[in-house]
Amino acid sequence: MHNPNPFDFVPFADRPLLKTEDEFNSMGDLFSGYLEVKMKALTPVHVVGYQEPDGNGRKSHIYRQNDQAYIPAASIRGCLRAFIETLTAGWVSQATPEYGKSYKKRHVGFSTFEWFQNKSRNHQYQAKPAVDPAYQPKASTDDVVTDIASYLFGIVIEKEKGSDVSHDALARKSKVWIEDAKIESEHLDDKNYWLPDIAGDAIMGGAKPSASNWWYMQPNQVWQRNVSVSGRIMPMAEFIGERYWGRKFYYHQNPDNCVPFYDPQNHNWEYPKHPFCKVKLECLMPNTSTDNFRIYVNRIPRQLLVLLVLSLAPGNNIRHKLGYGKAYGYGSIEFSIEAAHLRVEDTSQRIPASLKDMLEESLSWSKMAWNRERLQAAGFDVSLIDWSALDKLAKIIGLENYEKLTFTYPPFKSGYFARGISQDVFNKAVGPKFKLGNPISTTSPEVARNLAAELFAIKKPIHFQVYQENAQGWVIIKNRKP
C-alpha cells in the first residue's frame, strides 16, 4: 500500500462569502490593540534566509534580519490569511493568473480565472477557468463588497482595463498588523535536519499544476494523445482536468518518518535524470518557541476578532503549517495567546480608551472552537464559517494521530507517475464501456472515479482522491474532526 500524498485540497464553496464594509463594521463593537502571541514548533520549522553550497547539496540558513533569526511577519500573515480565506469561503487572494500551453512541458494551457483557448493542428479546446471567477478579487462601482480575509488583511485589486472603479474601492488597508517573531539562538539547530532535493533549477516536489491529469484538477475528459516513442506513434490516454480540486494544504507529519523515504540508499525513490542532493536546514527545534510577538488589530468588529482568535488557536485538533519543506514534515506550529491588550473603540467618547487586559476573554473565545451552539450563544454568526471547509481542514491539518502517518509524493516509477497508459491497456482495463478515441466525458464524478479505480492496478496516481482514499492510514485521516 502506498503512503498518502503530503498535500490535499479543500474544495471551494458554491460561492464566496462577501459583505460590504458597513456590514462588517456592524458586527459588534470595534476593537483595537494587540495580542501577544508565541509560536511553538511542533516539528522543526525553517523559513529560508539564504542558501549556500554544501558538498553535493546546499545548506539553507534560517531567515534573519541584521543577524537575528526570525519567523517573518509575512509568513505568519500568509499562514493565517490562507486559513481564514478557506475557513470563510473567501476570495483567492493570491494566484498565478495563467499556465500557458508550452511545447513538451504543458499540453493543455489554462487560466486561473478566465477561459483559455488551446489550439493545435488537430484539436481546439477551450479550458474553463480553473477557479470559479466569483473567487477572483474584484472591485465594483456599486456596492463595494469584500471577503472577510481582505477586510482583515487588506487587499490591492488590479484595475481592469476601462474600469472607472475608484482607488478607494481597489485598495484596502490591513486592519491586522503582524510583527516578526524573534528566535533565540539556543532554539536553533543546524545539524540534524535536511530535506531531499534534485540538482538543477527545479525544486523536488515543486508544484507542477497541469490540466492534463487529475492531480490538481477535477476530471473533465479522457483524450487520446498520439505520442512518438522511438519513432513510432503510440496512442495514449490523457486525463484532462478542468477545475482545481480546491485550496492546497499540507498534512502534518514527523520529518524523521518521511525524509529517509527519499534517500536513494533506501531504494524507494529513483533519481534517473537529476542526481539526489541534501538540503541541510537550520531550524527552530521542535518543542521550542519563538519569543512573544505582537498581532495588532485596528478597529475590527468583535465577531471578526473572535474569528481571528479562533484561527490562531483553532481547537484541539487543527494546527497550522508554515515555512519551507511542508511536504517533508517541516513547519508544524502552534500559536498560543500569552496576553491581550485591547480596547473598544467607543465613538461616543471623545478620547480613545487605554488598552485593557482582555486575556481571559480572548482565551474564552478560543475555547469555543468549533462548537456551533456555544458560538451562537456567544452572539457569533456561524454562517461566517464554511463548515464543510472546516471539516476538510480538520482532516488535512488535523494533528490527531499524525505520528502514525507518513506522507510521501508518488514516486516517478512504474505504477506511479512514470507509467503511461496506452490505448490498448486502457481499452483492455476499462472494458467495452469506453473506447479511447473521441474524448470521453467524465463530468460525472462517478465515471471518473470508476475509470481511475479500474486503472489503479496499472497506474495509481491518476485521480487524486482515489489515490488518497486508497493510501495507508486513510482511515485515520477520514475520521478526523475539527
Partner 1 sequence: MYSNQIYASGIQSVLKVHWKLRCETPLAIRNGLSIGYQDSDQRKSRGMGLRFKWQPPSDDREVSSLHYGYKVVDDKVESYHFVPPSSIRGSLRSWVINHLVHPSYRDEITPPEKKEEARTKEYQAKIQKALTDPKSGYSLVASLFGQALDTRNEGESLSNAGRLQIDTTSFSQAKAMPIAINGTLEDDGITGPINASRQMTVRNPVDRMTHASKEGGLHHFLEFCQGETFEVHMTLLNPQGSDMGLLSLWRREIEDGLLRFGALSSIGRGRVSIHEPGYRLWRNPFVKEPEWLKHFEPNNDESFTDALAGLWTAYILPATSLDQLISYLQ
Which of positions 98-137 make contact with partner 1 (CB under 8 A)?
112, 130-131
d(CA 200, CA 277): 10
Closer to partner 1 by Cβ: residue 9 or 194: 9
Binding residue (CB under 8 A) for partner 1 from 119, 173, 273, 372:
173
Q: Is residue 185 a contact residue for partner 1 (CB under 8 A)?
A: no
Binding residue (CB under 8 A) for partner 1 from 106, 187, 294, 419:
294
Binding residue (CB under 8 A) for partner 1 from 154, 235, 286, 439:
154
Closer to partner 1 by Cβ: residue 130 or 368: 130
φ, ψ of residue 430 in degrees (nearest 5)? -85, -25
Q: Is residue 276 a contact residue for partner 1 (CB under 8 A)?
A: no
232-244 and 217-229: which strand pairing?
Answer: antiparallel
Concatenating the DSSP letter of every residue in 233-245 gives EEEEEEEEEEEE-
Binding residue (CB under 8 A) for partner 1 from 52, 142, 360, 373:
52
Binding residue (CB under 8 A) for partner 1 from 2, 38, 40, 58:
58
d(CA 243, CA 129): 7
Smallest gap from Cβ 393 to partner 1, in A, equals 13
Binding residue (CB under 8 A) for partner 1 from 14, 22, 67, 373:
67
Binding residue (CB under 8 A) for partner 1 from 2, 61, 159, 419:
61
Smallest gap from Cβ 347 to partner 1, in A, equals 6
Binding segment for partner 1 (CB under 8 A), chosen from 94-102, 308-316, 392-400, 446-454, is 94-102
Closer to partner 1 by Cβ: residue 223 or 293: 293
**CA-CA distances (angstroms) from residue 460 to 175, 267, 340, 421, 465?**
46, 19, 50, 11, 11
**Site size for partner 1 (CB under 8 A):** 72
- Of the candidates 410, 211, 250, 222, the one whose C-alpha atom is nearest the C-alpha of residue 331 is 250
Smallest gap from Cβ 121 to partner 1, in A, equals 28
Residue 404 DSSP one-character state: G
Grid cell listed for 291: 519569543
* Alpha helix (H) residue ranges in 123-176: 148-153, 167-170
Neighbouring C-alpha atoms within 13 Å toward the C-beta of 421: 29
Binders in 321-350 for partner 1, by CB under 8 A: 326, 341, 347, 350
d(CA 172, CA 409): 39
Binders in 221-260 for partner 1, by CB under 8 A: 244, 246-248, 250
Q: Is residue 82 a contact residue for partner 1 (CB under 8 A)?
A: yes
Smallest gap from Cβ 73 to partner 1, in A, equals 4
Percent of residues in the chain assigned helix, strand, coil, to nearest 5: 25, 30, 45
**CA-CA distances (angstroms) from residue 216 to 206, 210, 226, 381, 391?**
13, 7, 23, 33, 20
d(CA 71, CA 320): 14
Binders in 408-427 for partner 1, by CB under 8 A: none
Binding segment for partner 1 (CB under 8 A), chosen from 52-60, 185-193, 371-379, 454-462, is 52-60
φ, ψ of residue 264 in degrees (nearest 5)? -55, -25
Binding residue (CB under 8 A) for partner 1 from 275, 352, 437, 445:
352
d(CA 79, CA 153): 12
Closer to partner 1 by Cβ: residue 169 or 455: 169
d(CA 238, CA 431): 17
Smallest gap from Cβ 174 to partner 1, in A, equals 4
φ, ψ of residue 468 in degrees (nearest 5)? -65, -45
Binding residue (CB under 8 A) for partner 1 from 21, 133, 207, 445:
207
Closer to partner 1 by Cβ: residue 246 or 398: 246
Binding residue (CB under 8 A) for partner 1 from 73, 144, 285, 378:
73
State the residue for C-alpha cell 503549517.
Answer: 321
